[in-house]
């Protein structure tokens, strides 16, 4: 189990990061650029992952079209998908 950091430890960490930028060891522009690119690809990965997950869920639900409670739902989903294709 991880030990929770104290406010003093967070303050020390903040000073360490600030000193890295102040000494010129790491370029701020490069750090921001890298963070932005990581964020874009992280967001894109999340969208693609969610799309695949929803598609799999819809496909699995379509297998149960004869089940009374789920069948009505899958029929609605199939009609919506078919009308979107047109």
pLDDT one-digit tens code per residue, 26-42: 788 888 899 999 999 99
Write down the pLDDT at residue 41: 97
25 pLDDT tier (thresholds 50, 70, 90): confident
Write down the pLDDT at residue 11: 93
DSSP string, the chain: -PPPPPHHHHHHHHHHHHHHHHTTSS-HHHHHHHHHHHHHHHHHHHHHHHHHHHHHHHHHHHTTTTSHHHHHHHHHHHHHHHHHH-
5 pLDDT tier (thresholds 50, 70, 90): confident
Write down the pLDDT at residue 12: 93
In this predicted structure, which of 1-5, 26-30, 62-66 has the lowest mean pLDDT?
Answer: 62-66
**What mean pLDDT comes out for the span 7-32?**
86
């Amino acid at each position: 189990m991880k030990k929770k950091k104290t406010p003093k430890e967070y303050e020390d960490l903040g000073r360490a990061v600030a000193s890295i930028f102040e000494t010129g060891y790491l370029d701020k522009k490069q750090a921001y650029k890298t963070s932005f690119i990581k964020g874009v690809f992280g967001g894109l990965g999340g969208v693609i992952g969610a799309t695949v997950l929803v598609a799999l869920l819809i496909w699995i639900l379509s297998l149960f079209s004869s089940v009374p409670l789920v069948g009505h739902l899958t029929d609605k989903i199939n009609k919506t998908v078919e009308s979107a294709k047109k």
